[in-house]
Amino acid sequence: MKKSLIALSIFVAPVFAFAQDATSILTVVSKIFNTIIPMLITLGIIYFIWNLIQLLIAKSDDVKKEAKNRMLWAVLIFFVILSIWGLVGIIQRTFGINTSGTISTEDIPHVE
């Protein structure tokens, strides 16, 4: 577990090193999530359907119980994925962060 966190931080560290402020960091995180989340949801749906098929064709109670357990985990994982995606959206709307990575002149505080 420790090695995988170190490997992940090696790949993620340059992304945050080039970010100048919290807005750009949240924009980068939002772009990453918007790319990864649909792929994870697709894989989760495939996993859920596979276990549903396993449940329907199973003859023994042990196999049925295991398929039900995996389907429950798939639903819980959907909840976590969609919750993270929703939290990123809430943070974006709260702080007025756009996902294009550009800041318009109206967004920059100034004195008139």
Is pTM beyond 0.95? Reply is no
Question: Residue 101: inside a domain, yes or no?
Answer: no
* pLDDT, tens digit, 9 for 90 and up, residues 11-58: 666 655 555 555 666 677 777 777 887 888 888 899 999 999 998 998
**What are the tens digits of pLDDT across the range 75-104?**
998 888 888 878 877 887 787 766 555 555
Residue 102 is assigned to a structural domain of this protein:
no
- How many domains is the chain partitioned into structurally? 1
CA distance 110 to 100: 22
In a domain, 50, yes or no: yes
Question: Which residues constitute the domain of residue 51?
Answer: 19-95
CA separation for the pair 102, 97 (Å, rounded) = 9
Is 59 inside any structural domain?
yes
